[in-house]
Amino acid sequence: MAIIEKTEGIVIRRERFRSTSKMVTLFSKDYGRLSLLAKGGFDPKRLLGGNLEPFSLTEITFYYREGKEYHLISGASLIYDFPRFRSETERFFYASLLSSFIIKTLPKEVKQSSLYQLFLSTIFLLDRVGKESLIYSFLIKAASFFGYQPNLLSCLRCSRQLKSFFFSSQRGGFLCAACREGEGIDFQLEEARRLKSLLLLPQREVGKLELGEKEKEAIRSFLAFHLNFFFPNPPSF
């Protein structure tokens, strides 16, 4: 039996379903990642489709069908449409990367209030300032919500305080000079401090950070190792 429910969320994927309908993936406040069908969503005579554009914040009314692959949208009211994501390629790429992470890592219909708020604040700030640092911070913090927060203070093996920074791809964490082994990445002190800032600062402060190209390269290398160690199919960037 279908139950009428309502939630807000951001459209993170939209696909054509048959001739005129839309299949929408919504990262929602109350249900986590939802698959929703908008019948006639591509029909220009219907008003529903315009409220389901990618990266729009929308209030959705839908028929929840327990145990079904997707649910049926009965109404959609646009809250905010983030127009710069559609007009600026770089910002669209950033938003797509965040959406890809949610789709690939978050199981369907698992409520994640903290992750949703992080995603929402990051999307709003990307629309306003478009800083790459926000992407790095989101990915580090999101991995932490799944239980994979990097320890940036002490050695993963011996627990000594870190004075040099070597990220081990085999152990998925930082090792001191005495314990380092295998493949990994050496970090300079300032690069490690930047990682700590990206992890601990609120997103509005992260949006003010200016990262040098060397710092960006080190952070991207860290994220590639870190995400691939803990997630089977993380997004590439």
* pLDDT for the residue numbered 176: 86
* pLDDT for the residue numbered 34: 96
Q: Using CA atoms, how far apart are residues 10 and 157, in angstroms rounded to an integer?
A: 40
Domain 3-84, CATH homologous superfamily name and number: Nucleic acid-binding proteins (2.40.50.140)
* pLDDT tens per residue across span 122-137: 999 999 998 999 999 9
* CA distance readout (Å), 218 to 82, 96, 120, 211, 214: 30, 22, 26, 11, 6
* pLDDT for the residue numbered 46: 56
* pLDDT for the residue numbered 182: 77
The order of strands in the sheet holding 184-187 is 173-175, 165-168, 184-187
Interior CA angle at 91 toward 110 and 93, to 5°?
A: 65
Q: What letter does residue 182 receive in the DSSP assignment?
A: S
Q: Using CA atoms, how far apart are residues 160 and 176, in angstroms rounded to an integer?
A: 7
Q: Which residues of the chain have pLDDT under 50?
A: none
* pLDDT for the residue numbered 25: 97
Work out the end-to-end distance of the chain between its first and last CA atoms, rounded to an integer number of angstroms.
42
Radius of gyration of the chain (CA): 20
- List all residues 6 or more positions away from 13 whose beta carbon is below 8 Å from its beta carbon: 24, 25, 54, 99, 103
CA 82 to chain centre: 16
Q: Using CA atoms, how far apart are residues 226 and 187, in angstroms rounded to an integer?
A: 14
**Helix (H) and strand (E) counts in the chain:** 7, 8
* pLDDT for the residue numbered 125: 96
Q: Domain ranges in the chain? A: 3-84, 131-230
* pLDDT for the residue numbered 210: 92
* pLDDT for the residue numbered 18: 74
> Token pair of 28, please?
């929602």
